[in-house]
Structure 1
Amino acid sequence: MQNIPFRLLCQSDPNIQVGLNGRMDHGPLDTLAQRAKAARQFRKLTQTQVAQRAGVNQSDISKIERGDTLRPTGLLQIARAYECDPHWLDTGDGLPPWDQRGTLNASGIYQRTGDSNVRPGPLVRGSGRYPLISYVQAGEWTAIHDNFQPRDVEEWPVTHLNLGENGYVLRVNGDSMTAPGERWSFPHGMLLFVNPDKDPVPGQFVIVRRERDKEATFKKLIKIDGELFLEAINPAWPKRYIQLEPGDAWCGVVVDASFGNLP
C-alpha cells in the first residue's frame, strides 16, 4: 500500500485531524459505524473498494456506516480490508489502524516507517490476533468462518506468525499430546496456533475432524506402511495410533504453540 503523509491523508476529511504528536485525532469512536467509517477513510478507500476487498456488497458497507447493521456478517473480512484489528473494529478495544505506525511489506512483515535504524519486526497487528475457538467450532470452521463474529469469542491470542486469512487458536485439552522429556510436548492448557490453509505432511502436528464424533482432534500425522495415522505422542496413552478413515477432514496444521502471556 502506498505510504501517504498523515497531513495529506487527512486534508480531504474535516472529521479527521492530526494532532501535534502526529497521531490521528478523531471524534467519538464509540460505535461500529464510527469505527468502520474512520478506518475506511484512514485507508483512503471508497465503500465500493472495501466491499470488493471483503467480498460483500457495497450496500452492506453503507448500512454499517449508517448504523443500520450492528452485527454484520463478514466482519473479519471487512477488518482485513481495512487492515485493522477485528476486535477493535467490533468492540473498540485494542489499537486502531492509525496507531500501528507502519505498513505490510510484500513478505507479510510489519515494516515501521520513518525509522531507518529499526529493523523490520514480525507483524503483530490485526492479522496477528486470532480467535480462540472450541474443538467443535474447529471441526466446522470452514462452514462457519464467513459468518463468525469477533464478539463470538472472548479471547484473541496474539502471534508473530501469519496463520492465513482463516487462522484460529485452540487450547490443548487432556494429556494425549504430553510427552515429558521429549523434544515436543503439549501439556493441557497450551495454546495451539493453527493455519487451516496449509497442506499437512507426515511429521507435522495437525487438527483433524473425525467423522465418527463430529469433533476435531489434535495429533501428530505419521505414515506407517503407506497409510496415514494420527499419533498421540504421550508414550503412556492407551490408544496411541488412529488410522484416518473416510469422512475425516483436515482442519489445519499447528504452526506454533505457547502458554500465551505469562505472569
Structure 2
Amino acid sequence: MARAIEKEVGLEAHSLDQQGYGFGAKHGFDSNVQDAMMGERRIPLLNYVQAGVFRDPGQNFTFEEVEYLLTDLCLSERSFALQIKGDSMLPDFKEGDRIIVDCELTPRPGDYVVAKNSEEEATFKKYRLLCIDEGGQEIFELVPLNDDYPSIRSDQHAIEIIGTMVEHRKYYRRS
C-alpha cells in the first residue's frame, strides 16, 4: 500500500519507510508524533457477565462471534478487554471506553481492577488496600471515582479480584 501511495504522489520508492518523513520534517521542524505499531495480539472483548467468570481456574473459553482488540502489550494468556458501562468511574472512565485487563497481575494500591461481585458479575473500580488481617488476608475496598457511588469493602461483601487494568482506550467522539 505504501508503494502505491508513493507512486501516486510522486515520491521515491520506500521514502515513506524513513523515520522523520512527514509534514514536520518536510517543513523544517520536529514533529511531536511518531508512527505507532499496530498490535498483533488479539484480546477478547467480553461483557460483564463473561468477565465475572473469566478468572475461574481451569475455565477455557472458546469465543465465537466475539470482538477482539489488538494490543502490542506483552500480556498473560488470561487477559481480556472490557467496555465500560455506567458512570461510576467518571470523570476518568466514560461509558464506551475500553480497558484491557491482565488476570495474572496482582493489584497494587491505586491500580484499577475488575472484580467479581456477589452476583457473579464484573465491576470496575479503583483498588485501595486497607490492611492485612490476622490471617494474612488483604482487606481492601473498591472505590468508584464518582462520589455518587459507594465503595465496596472486601470484609463486608463477597468480592474477588479478577484482574488489573493495563490499558485504557479513551474515545472522544461517540457515534
TM-score in same-fold range (> 0.5)? yes
Match of residue 49 from structure 2? 136
Match of residue 160 from structure 1? 72
| Runs of 5+ consecutive residues of structure 2 not aligned to the other structure | 1-16, 20-35, 133-138
The TM-score with structure 2 as length reference comes to 0.66
Aligned equivalents of 1:261 and 1:231: distance in 2?
24
**Deviation per residue, 1:14-73 (Å, 9 max, x gap):** xxxxxxxxxxxxxxxxxxxxxxxxxxxxxxxxxxxxxxxxxxxxxxxxxxxxxxxxxxxx
Aligned equivalents of 1:144 and 1:222: distance in 2?
25
Please report the RMSD computed on the Cα atoms of aligned residues, expressed in angstroms.
2.8
**Deviation per residue, 1:158-210 (Å, 9 max, x gap):** 1221221121000001000012xxxxx00001001000111111110001101
Query: Greater RCO between the two (CA within 8 Å, min separation 6)?
Result: 2
Cα pair 1:123 1:161 within 8 Å, conserved: no
Aligned equivalents of 1:171 and 1:145: distance in 2?
24
1:248 Cα deviation from its structure 2 partner: 2.1
| Worse overlay, 217-226 or 167-176 | 217-226
Aligned counterpart in structure 2 of residue 216 of structure 1, from 116, 122, 147: 122
Cα pair 1:132 1:157 within 8 Å, conserved: yes
Aligned counterpart in structure 1 of residue 83 of structure 2, from 162, 166, 171: 171
Aligned equivalents of 1:204 and 1:188: distance in 2?
19
Do the aligned partners of residues 238 and 206 (structure 1) sit closer, same or farther apart at CA in structure 2, a change above 3 Å counting?
Answer: closer
Secondary structure at 2:100 match in 1? strand
Q: How many residues align?
A: 134
Q: Which amino acid aligns with 1:164?
A: S
1:249 Cα deviation from its structure 2 partner: 1.6
Do the aligned partners of residues 232 and 215 (structure 1) sit closer, same or farther apart at CA in structure 2, a change above 3 Å counting?
Answer: same
**For residues 20-39 of structure 1, what are the structure 2 equivalents within 5 Å?**
none
Aligned equivalents of 2:131 and 2:57: distance in 1?
36
Do the aligned partners of residues 247 and 145 (structure 1) sit closer, same or farther apart at CA in structure 2, a change above 3 Å counting?
Answer: same
1:261 Cα deviation from its structure 2 partner: 11
Higher helix share: 1
1:247 Cα deviation from its structure 2 partner: 4.2
Match of residue 149 from structure 2? 238
Do the aligned partners of residues 220 and 243 (structure 1) sit closer, same or farther apart at CA in structure 2, a change above 3 Å counting?
Answer: same
Cα pair 1:178 1:187 within 8 Å, conserved: yes
Do the aligned partners of residues 143 and 238 (structure 1) sit closer, same or farther apart at CA in structure 2, a change above 3 Å counting?
Answer: closer
Match of residue 102 from structure 2? 195
Cα pair 1:157 1:260 within 8 Å, conserved: no
Q: Percent identity?
A: 30
| Runs of 5+ consecutive residues of structure 1 not aligned to the other structure | 1-114, 180-184
Aligned equivalents of 1:147 and 1:195: distance in 2?
16
Q: Which amino acid aligns with 2:95?
A: H
Cα pair 1:145 1:166 within 8 Å, conserved: no
Do the aligned partners of residues 232 and 158 (structure 1) sit closer, same or farther apart at CA in structure 2, a change above 3 Å counting?
Answer: same
Secondary structure at 1:140 match in 2? helix
Do the aligned partners of residues 253 and 161 (structure 1) sit closer, same or farther apart at CA in structure 2, a change above 3 Å counting?
Answer: same
